[in-house]
């Protein structure tokens, strides 16, 4: 899919158990859709990116359209983006880095 690999979570975990494939500067996105939409060009979740300071609108739209619920980016620190529902049912997309700073949209 674009320049990315689309794989079922179970198969990804099986591959990691068989031989270590994650060892730094890895990026993983989780979606409940079986298809997937290529990630917008120039978007990088790996550290030292600081998406928690300024989350691009294209990222938010891509996550909502592709039904992505979680993104993990390892590198210089760990970044993650999560889409969650608040108590009142409002969809919130938040980006975090290892210092727990965040920006919600």
DSSP letters, 56-78, are: -HHHHHHHHHTTEEEEEEEESEE
CA dist 23 and 43 (Å) reads 20
Give buried/exposed letters for 8-31 (b at 16+ CB in 10 A, else e): eeeeeeeeeeeeeeeeeeebbbeb
49 three-class SS: coil
| Average pLDDT along the chain | 76
Question: Model pTM?
Answer: 0.70
Sheet holding 102-104, edge to edge: 27-31, 68-75, 77-85, 91-96, 102-104
Where along the chain do its domains lie? Answer: 9-104
SS3 of 18, please? helix
Average pLDDT estimate for 87-103: 56
The per-residue pLDDT for 14 is: 92
| Alpha carbon distances (Å) from 90 to 25, 61, 86, 93 | 32, 15, 5, 10
Q: How confident is the model at residue 24 (pLDDT cuts 50, 70, 90)?
A: confident
């Amino acid at each position: 899919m674009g320049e990315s690999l689309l794989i079922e979570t179970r198969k990804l975990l099986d591959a990691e158990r068989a031989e270590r494939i994650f060892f730094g500067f890895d990026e993983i996105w989780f979606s409940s859709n079986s298809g997937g939409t290529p990630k917008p060009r120039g978007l990088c979740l790996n550290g030292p990116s600081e998406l928690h300071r300024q989350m691009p609108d294209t990222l938010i739209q891509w996550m909502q359209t592709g039904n992505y619920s979680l993104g993990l980016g390892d590198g210089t620190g760990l970044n993650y983006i999560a889409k969650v529902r608040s108590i009142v049912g409002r969809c919130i997309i938040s980006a975090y880095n290892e210092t727990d700073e965040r920006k919600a949209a």
